[in-house]
């Protein structure tokens, strides 16, 4: 019992207690993240740097072949297919996000300035569609946009599309599907930002010689910027990796990166190529987030925009 | 007393130190005619308001909440549109002019400072919107910041300021635009009592120094009396009385104004015979009785004599309650089956005790009558 001569002091007991608290509170979440995020991601990264076996499964030795394939170099020389898919994903994401912003701003403002008792109902109306499965809603759009439907006939009549083509499948249908799907994710953070805004500030701006437009630009917009940036993150990142909507509404020429990646794990079966595609999406997303942070700092006038 | 409404016995000395150019003076008069405003179907905010505010005047709109004073101010700012009536500033009709084209600025009750901007950018906001070049903007912002003694806060964020500092920034943000008229919507109501009376004095000095027309909204009659050149008392969307503080306090035109100015001693006139009026207190001699149905007795005009003393306007009474306040004592007296409030200055003489029998004496000159 010679080593037991050092009695635990109050201080060390407190430290033990604190460590136990930390372990109990952090451990469940950390375990979850490690098992379901860190380990799979690490596995995916590893797969990207491996060779492709006969059935598309990864095998040794390590290789950069999948990145070469991703860049468009195949057995028959270089083809721009994957590059187009990347560009299409970027353009679809930018266009859809921009449209969502333009549509969501007036909706959020209108709800925030309505009578208090109508607000929950209106917010509910915005959110309720997303309670239905996304696949089912997208099938709904297929039915609405198919050849021969009233919307398609209207577009034909206006000369917007060739006869009997229908509005779907097309890139337009994908954009529409993305805008429809992600609108609530922009309305909610914008609404939260508008709700915090003191309407007296709009009046103060008007009182200080700002026209309605300039009052929005200089008093309202900077204060809703955190909500806008949060909305853009919630819309743009999932839209960039979207699989269901381009798969159902896009047809062969509407494919986005998500479909490219998914196909490598299913039909086309090339796991290393799919993994390298996933890494490309990750990199593009990080670049986007970094750019948002820079823009937010510049426009926010010192207000830290949290992402 | 209705003819006294428009008379202006200036009981406040006009600012003499600041010379005003006449163009400025003319540009800052306000004329309101027949203003009506209702919200929804049955909330009447203004029920026909006529008002003339003079250039360089510190004018106060006084009344309880819901009397229409804030609506009137917002119509002046252009933030609210009147249903009916005309509004002119400096002789120019601006009824239809949007707020950003009016030479009027407002100090809001909530201050409404822009939280995303620094103090400097808050102060410069109006100048920027009017398109002033950066150099002039900065010079004027620096000048106004020094004027309100907040130059060292200029690079702070608004949320780092105390209530009193925010109030002053809100004032400066409006003043820096040098409007013809400055509107103030209960600007001091969010502050504690000490700071409030300090800023009252400050605000008054600023107004006298600039000679700008101030239209000030408050529900506090003490504040209104301290600050104003003239007061308009509003109730139910109508102006009850307009006049200098002394006139409104000492000669209220009706029971509402009297009660709002803090008077409790109102008694019905039961019968009248020349200058002798019969009231529940007894017979009283009134110098200028008028034809009002109520008699107003201001507590500070009463004298309390010990014991029974015979004489004109001498009434026997008994002390029910005495509140000793140091500089003065407030009394509640039982008199002829009713009660009467009295205030006695503490000048070292005897202050009657509770239950002591006293004689209430009042001068015929100090009694006024008013309408119900």
- Condensed to tens digits (0 to 9), the pLDDT of residues A151-199 reads 877 877 777 777 777 777 878 888 888 899 899 999 999 999 888 888 8
Of B99, B109, B113, the CB nearest to A206: B99
- Most B CBs within 10 Å, among A197, A199, A206, A209, to test the B interface: A209
d(C-alpha B284, C-alpha B312), whole Å: 8
Mean pLDDT across chain A, nearest whole number?
A: 83
Distances (CA, A) of A274 to A48, A60, A69, A75, B183: 8, 16, 10, 17, 66
Per DSSP, which regions of A17-176 are E strands?
50-52, 58-62, 73-74, 77-78
Q: What is the dihedral of CA B292, B298, B301, B302, to 10 degrees?
A: 100
From the CB of residue A80, how many other CB atoms can be counted at a distance below 10 Å? Answer: 9
For residues B192 and B216, the answer to whether their CB atoms sit within 8 Å is no
pLDDT, mean of residues A202-216: 92
Report CA A131 to chain centroid distance, whole Å: 18
Distance from CA of A200 to the nearest CA of B (A): 6
The pLDDT of residue A6 is 58
- In B204-233, the residues whose Cβ lies within 8 Å of chain A are none
Contact A211 B108 (CB under 8 A): no
Which chain A residue is nearest to residue B113, measuring alpha carbons?
A201
Of B116, B121, B129, the CB nearest to A223: B116
Report CA B352 to chain centroid distance, whole Å: 34
Strand partners, B322: B331
Q: Is B103 on the interface with A (CB under 8 A)?
A: no
Q: How big is chain A, counted in residues?
A: 307
> In the structure, what pLDDT confidence band is assigned to residue B1 with cuts at 50, 70 and 90?
very low
- For B315-357, give the secondary structure using H, E and C: EEEEEEEEEECCCEEEEEEEECCEEEEEEEECCCCCCCCCCCE
Structure tokens at B256: 């509402």
Q: Is B177 on the interface with A (CB under 8 A)?
A: yes
Strand partners, A294: none
Contact B177 A209 (CB under 8 A): yes
Structure tokens at B60: 């106060």
The pLDDT of residue A302 is 45
Contact A209 B100 (CB under 8 A): yes
Question: What percent of chain B has a predicted confidence (pLDDT) above 70?
Answer: 93
Mean pLDDT across chain B, nearest whole number?
A: 88
Strands, sheet with B271-273, edge to edge from the N-terminal-most edge strand: B271-273, B276-279, B282-285
Chain B CB contacts of A208 below 8 Å: 100, 105, 125-126, 129, 173-174, 177
pLDDT, mean of residues A129-158: 82
Query: Which residues, including other chains, have CB under 8 Å from residue A211's CB and lie 6 or more apart?
Result: B98, B100
The pLDDT of residue B9 is 40
Match 């008392």 to its residue by tokens.
Answer: B233
pLDDT, mean of residues B240-264: 94
Residue B316, exposed/middle/buried by CB under 10 A (0-12, 13-18, 19+)?
middle
Strand partners, B370: B294
Pairing of strands B230-235, B58-62: parallel
Q: Is B78 on the interface with A (CB under 8 A)?
A: yes
Least Cα distance to A62 among A71, A77, A73, A51 occurs for A51
> Residue A306: is its pLDDT beyond 70?
no
Structure tokens at B166: 């925010």
d(C-alpha B330, C-alpha B322), whole Å: 6
> In the structure, what pLDDT confidence band is assigned to residue B249 with cuts at 50, 70 and 90?
very high
Structure tokens at B3: 């003819």
For residues A188 and A233, the answer to whether their CB atoms sit within 8 Å is no
Give the domains, in start order, of chain B with CATH numbers.
7-103+179-259 (3.40.50.300), 268-370 (2.40.50.100)
Report CA B12 to chain centroid distance, whole Å: 14
Per the model's pLDDT, the better-predicted residue between A11 and B201 turns out to be: B201
pLDDT digits (tens, 9 = 90+) for B140-180: 999 988 888 887 888 888 888 888 889 889 999 999 998 99
The pLDDT of residue B169 is 92
Least Cα distance to B305 among B354, B366, B367, B349 occurs for B349
Strand partners, B279: B282
The pLDDT of residue B11 is 42
Structure tokens at A54: 């006969």
In this structure, of A252-266, B41-55, B63-77, B204-218, the range with the lowest mean pLDDT score is A252-266
Contact A218 B125 (CB under 8 A): yes
> Residue A240: is its pLDDT beyond 70?
yes
pLDDT digits (tens, 9 = 90+) for A11-48: 888 888 888 888 888 988 999 999 999 998 898 888 88
pLDDT digits (tens, 9 = 90+) for B219-228: 999 999 999 9
Structure tokens at A97: 């996000």
Q: Is B77 on the interface with A (CB under 8 A)?
A: yes
The ipTM is 0.80
Query: Which residues, including other chains, have CB under 8 Å from residue B360's CB and lie 6 or more apart?
Result: B302, B303, B304, B314, B315, B316, B317, B333, B335, B340, B342
Which chain A residue is nearest to residue B183, measuring alpha carbons?
A207
pLDDT digits (tens, 9 = 90+) for B102-138: 999 999 999 999 988 889 999 999 999 999 999 999 9
Structure tokens at A245: 């909507």
pLDDT digits (tens, 9 = 90+) for B3-26: 333 334 444 444 443 444 455 556
For residues B170 and B107, the answer to whether their CB atoms sit within 8 Å is yes
- Most B CBs within 10 Å, among A204, A212, A304, to test the B interface: A204
Contact A210 B106 (CB under 8 A): no
The pLDDT of residue A49 is 84
pLDDT digits (tens, 9 = 90+) for B24-49: 556 789 999 999 999 988 888 999 99
pTM score of the predicted model: 0.75
The pLDDT of residue A114 is 85
d(C-alpha B245, C-alpha B216), whole Å: 14
For residues B301 and B368, the answer to whether their CB atoms sit within 8 Å is no
Structure tokens at B294: 């109520």
pLDDT, mean of residues A260-279: 82
d(C-alpha B279, C-alpha B268), whole Å: 6
Least Cα distance to A193 among A221, A232, A234, A217 occurs for A221
For residues B117 and B125, the answer to whether their CB atoms sit within 8 Å is yes
């Amino acid at each position: 019992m010679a080593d037991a001569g050092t009695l635990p002091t109050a201080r060390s007991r407190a430290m033990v207690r604190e460590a136990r608290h930390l372990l109990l509170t952090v451990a469940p979440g950390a375990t979850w993240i490690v098992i379901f995020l860190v380990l799979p991601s690490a596995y995916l990264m590893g797969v990207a740097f491996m060779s492709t076996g006969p059935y598309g499964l990864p095998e040794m030795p390590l290789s950069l072949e999948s990145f070469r394939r991703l860049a468009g170099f195949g057995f028959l020389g270089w083809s721009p297919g994957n590059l187009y898919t990347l560009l299409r994903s970027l353009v679809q994401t930018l266009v859809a996000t921009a449209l969502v912003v333009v549509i969501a701003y007036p909706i959020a403002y209108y709800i925030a300035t309505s009578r208090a008792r109508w607000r929950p109902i209106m917010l509910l109306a915005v959110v309720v569609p997303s309670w239905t499965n996304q696949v089912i809603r997208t099938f709904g759009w297929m039915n609405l946009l198919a050849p021969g439907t009233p919307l398609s006939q209207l577009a034909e009549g206006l000369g917007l599309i060739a006869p009997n083509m229908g509005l779907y499948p097309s890139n337009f249908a994908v954009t529409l599907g993305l805008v429809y799907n992600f609108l609530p994710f922009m309305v909610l953070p914008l609404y939260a930002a508008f709700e915090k805004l003191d309407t007296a500030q709009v009046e103060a701006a008007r009182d200080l010689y700002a026209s309605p437009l300039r009052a929005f630009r200089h008093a309202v917009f900077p204060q809703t910027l955190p909500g806008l940036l949060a909305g853009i993150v919630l819309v743009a990142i999932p839209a960039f990796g979207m699989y269901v909507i381009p798969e159902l509404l896009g047809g062969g020429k509407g494919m986005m990166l998500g479909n490219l990646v998914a196909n490598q794990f299913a039909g086309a079966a090339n796991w290393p190529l799919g993994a390298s595609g996933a890494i490309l999406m990750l990199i593009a997303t990080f670049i986007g987030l970094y750019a948002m942070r820079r823009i937010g700092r510049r426009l926010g006038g010192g207000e830290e925009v949290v992402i | 007393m209705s003819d006294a409404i428009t008379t202006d016995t200036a009981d406040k000395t006009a600012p003499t130190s600041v010379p005003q150019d006449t163009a400025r003076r003319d540009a800052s008069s306000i004329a309101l005619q027949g203003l009506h405003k209702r919200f929804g179907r049955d909330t009447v905010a203004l029920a026909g308001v006529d008002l003339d505010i003079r250039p360089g005047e510190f004018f106060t709109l006084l009344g309880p909440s819901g009397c229409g004073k804030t609506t009137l101010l917002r119509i002046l700012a252009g933030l609210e549109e009147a249903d009916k009536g005309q509004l002119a500033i400096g002789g120019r009709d601006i009824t239809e002019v949007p707020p950003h084209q009016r030479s009027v600025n407002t100090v809001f009750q909530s201050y409404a400072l822009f939280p995303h901007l620094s103090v400097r950018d808050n102060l410069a906001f109006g100048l920027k919107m009017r398109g002033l070049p950066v150099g002039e903007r900065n010079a004027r912002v620096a000048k106004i910041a020094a004027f309100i003694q907040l130059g060292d806060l200029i690079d702070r964020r608004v949320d780092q300021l105390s209530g009193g500092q925010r109030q002053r920034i809100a004032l400066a943000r409006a003043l820096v635009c040098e409007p013809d008229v400055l509107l103030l919507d209960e600007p001091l109501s969010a502050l504690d009592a000490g700071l409030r009376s300090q800023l009252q004095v400050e605000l008054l000095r600023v107004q006298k120094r600039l000679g700008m027309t101030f239209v000030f909204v408050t529900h506090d009659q003490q504040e209104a009396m301290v600050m104003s050149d003239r007061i308009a008392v509003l109730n139910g969307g109508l102006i009850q009385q307009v006049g200098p503080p002394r006139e409104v306090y000492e000669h209220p035109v009706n029971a509402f104004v009297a009660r709002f100015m803090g008077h409790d001693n109102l008694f019905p006139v039961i019968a009248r015979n020349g200058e002798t009026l019969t009231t529940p207190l007894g017979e009283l001699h009134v110098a200028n009785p008028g034809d009002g149905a109520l008699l107003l007795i201001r507590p500070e005009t009463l004298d309390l004599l010990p014991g029974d003393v015979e004489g004109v306007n001498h009434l026997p009474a008994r002390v029910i309650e005495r509140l000793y306040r140091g500089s003065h004592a407030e009394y509640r007296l039982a008199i002829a089956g009713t009660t009467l409030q009295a205030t006695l200055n503490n000048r070292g003489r005897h202050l009657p005790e509770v239950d002591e029998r006293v004689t209430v004496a009042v001068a015929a000159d100090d009694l006024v009558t008013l309408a119900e």
